[in-house]
Amino acid sequence: MAQKTLDFYFDYSSPYGYFASEMVEALAEKHGRVVVWKPFLLGIIFKQEGTQSLISYPMKGPYSKHDIERCSGFYSIPFQWPSVFPVLTVNAARATLWVQQQHPDMAVPLIHAIYRKAFSEGADVGQVATVIEAAESIGLDPDDVSKVIRSQPMKDLLKTETQAAMDRGVFGSPFFFIDGERFWGVDRMDMMDAWMTRGGW
């Protein structure tokens, strides 16, 4: 029997997605599940939904910045703001999709390397050079990564994946699916824990 999954949708510009990326494997493991990592482009979905980046709202913006910093202490996960925010995530997402296809064993290390570059080291992962640096740090060939980031098949795949996420009802990051049940936000992870323990309610 195939192992049960926990689908984890994330955008590399999402601080809450970063916090979730540091905790989702332990949560899945606790319940005998394996994480399926799904990078996508949140910006495209925001346009469709009529929403914006959290930090762009007059009151919700400053609150969210503070809340994100506070989450670092709450979850005991190091955090700093990237030098550019919000950040362009196409390059990082394309590199991830390619590694998932071509070097599946390297995919999770790459995701952590990119997310940590952004939110633990404060680098701009919108830059191709930063994505390549992250890839190199886990042993990937920088020339390969440089090429795939600009490749048409990866551009197309990212569009397809983002559309598929939207078709599934994903409108934020992080976003999770446990069997048919969807959860939005790192602050739903305790509910997900309860959901998996009790088998839903």
Q: Which stretch binds its own copies (CB under 8 A): 48-56, 99-107, 113-121, 144-152?
A: 48-56
Residue pair 24/115 in contact (Cβ under 8 Å)? The answer is no
The yes or no reply on residue 191 touching its own copies (CB under 8 A) is yes
Ramachandran assignment for 11, one of left (phi > 0), alpha (psi -120 to 50 degrees), beta (any other): beta
Among 60, 78, 139, 147, binds its own copies (CB under 8 A): 60
The minimum distance between CB 188 and its own copies, in angstroms, equals: 7
Q: Rounded to 5 degrees, what angle do the CA atoms 111, 98, 144 make?
A: 100
* Amino acid type, 104: P
Q: Given the complex with its own copies, which of 124 and 187 has the nearer CB atom?
A: 187
The yes or no reply on residue 62 touching its own copies (CB under 8 A) is yes
The minimum distance between CB 68 and its own copies, in angstroms, equals: 12
Question: Which positions from 65 to 94 touch its own copies by CB under 8 A, shown as an x/- string?
Answer: -xx--xx-xx--------------------
Buried b (16+ CB within 10 A) or exposed e, 151-185: eeebeebbeebbeebbeeebbbbbbbbbeeebbbe
The yes or no reply on residue 201 touching its own copies (CB under 8 A) is yes
Look at the block and give the residue holding tokens 């305790």: 190
Residues 143-182 that bind its own copies (CB under 8 A): 166, 169-172, 182
Distance, in Å, from the CA atom of 91 to the CA atom of 114, rounded to the nearest integer, reads: 11
The yes or no reply on residue 50 touching its own copies (CB under 8 A) is yes
Distance, in Å, from the CA atom of 98 to the CA atom of 142, rounded to the nearest integer, reads: 13
Q: Kindly list the residues in this chain that would bind its own copies in the complex (CB under 8 A).
A: 45, 48-51, 57-60, 62-63, 66-67, 70-71, 73-74, 166, 169-172, 182, 184-185, 187-188, 190-191, 194, 201
